[in-house]
């Protein structure tokens, strides 16, 4: 079934495109959501009249994206994250965190889905991020991940066998010392009980 797209449909086409789709997809998805209309001769004639307006809107979107790209390109943002001594993060930096940092630090509002983080960011340091602002208009931002509060959190190290043995010996010696002290106190108490009380 031929339809005329009234808005951009990912993977299918842009506003104003005449495309062939399955009848079920058109009648159950595109037409009820007003994303397309049937490509009748009358609608095709109306499309010809609207093509100029569609092109103007596309050009405006592109030029706006190019202005944003010029503002974003080469800039850098900083995100603080909890990290261990090795520089590995407790968790990872998300697209939402980067989008928030772009608004706060550069003043550019970008949908987090348009950010390409090149995988998960799980370490401190600099990372390059691609920002897709429009079809083929992209910009690169440098993300600098720094430790929260400026100091990496010390990760607790597993105790060595020697440390475990030493701690056990210290606890045993402490328990013995306590037992000796209790025994001495009891012996001293027994000695005082047998002595006559002076009047």
Domain boundaries, the chain: 2-67, 72-150
Q: How far is CA 181 from CA 7, 16, 164, 174, 186, in A?
A: 87, 93, 26, 11, 9
Give the DSSP letter of residue 28: I
For the chain, percent helix, then strand, then coil, each to nearest 5? 45, 25, 30
> For position 196, what pLDDT does the model report?
52
CATH number for 2-67: choose from 1.10.10.60, 3.90.550.10, 3.40.5.10, 3.40.640.10.
3.40.5.10
Tell me: the pLDDT tens digits for 62-113?
Answer: 888 888 888 888 888 899 888 888 888 888 888 888 889 888 888 888 888 8
Say how far residue 112 (Cα) sits from the centre of its chain. Answer: 9
Q: Tell me yes or no: is domain 72-150 CATH 3.60.15.10.
A: no
> For position 22, what pLDDT does the model report?
92
Contact yes or no for 140/128 (Cβ under 8 A)? yes
Tokens 């009358």 found at: 42
User: Which pairing describes strands 121-123 and 88-93: parallel, antiparallel, or unpaired?
Assistant: antiparallel
> For position 67, what pLDDT does the model report?
84
**What are the φ and ψ backbone dihedral angles of 194, each rounded to 5 degrees?**
-80, -15
Tell me: the pLDDT tens digits for 12-64?
Answer: 888 888 999 999 998 999 999 989 999 888 888 888 878 888 888 888 888 88
Sheet of 115-116: strands edge to edge?
76-81, 137-147, 125-134, 115-116
Decide if 2-67 and 72-150 have a common fold: no
Give the residue among 112, 90, 89 at the shortest CA–CA distance from 100.
Answer: 112
- Enter the pTM of the model: 0.53
């Amino acid at each position: 079934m031929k339809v005329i797209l009234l808005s951009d449909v990912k993977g299918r086409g842009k506003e104003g495109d005449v495309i062939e789709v399955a009848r079920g997809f058109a009648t159950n998805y595109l037409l009820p959501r007003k994303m397309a209309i049937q490509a009748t001769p009358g609608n095709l004639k109306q499309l010809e009249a609207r093509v100029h307006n569609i092109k103007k809107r596309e050009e405006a979107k592109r030029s706006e994206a190019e202005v944003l790209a010029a503002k974003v390109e080469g800039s850098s943002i900083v995100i603080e994250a909890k990290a261990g001594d090795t520089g590995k993060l407790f968790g990872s930096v998300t697209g939402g965190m980067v989008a928030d940092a772009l608004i706060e630090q550069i003043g550019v509002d970008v949908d987090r889905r348009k950010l390409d983080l090149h995988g998960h960011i799980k370490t401190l340091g600099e990372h390059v991020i691609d920002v897709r602002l429009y079809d083929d208009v992209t910009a690169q931002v440098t993300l600098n991940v720094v430790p929260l509060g400026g100091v990496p959190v010390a990760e607790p190290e597993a105790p060595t066998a020697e440390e475990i043995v030493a701690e056990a010996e210290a606890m045993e010696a402490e328990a013995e010392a306590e037992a000796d002290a209790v025994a001495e106190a009891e012996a001293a108490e027994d000695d005082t009980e047998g002595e006559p009380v002076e009047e």
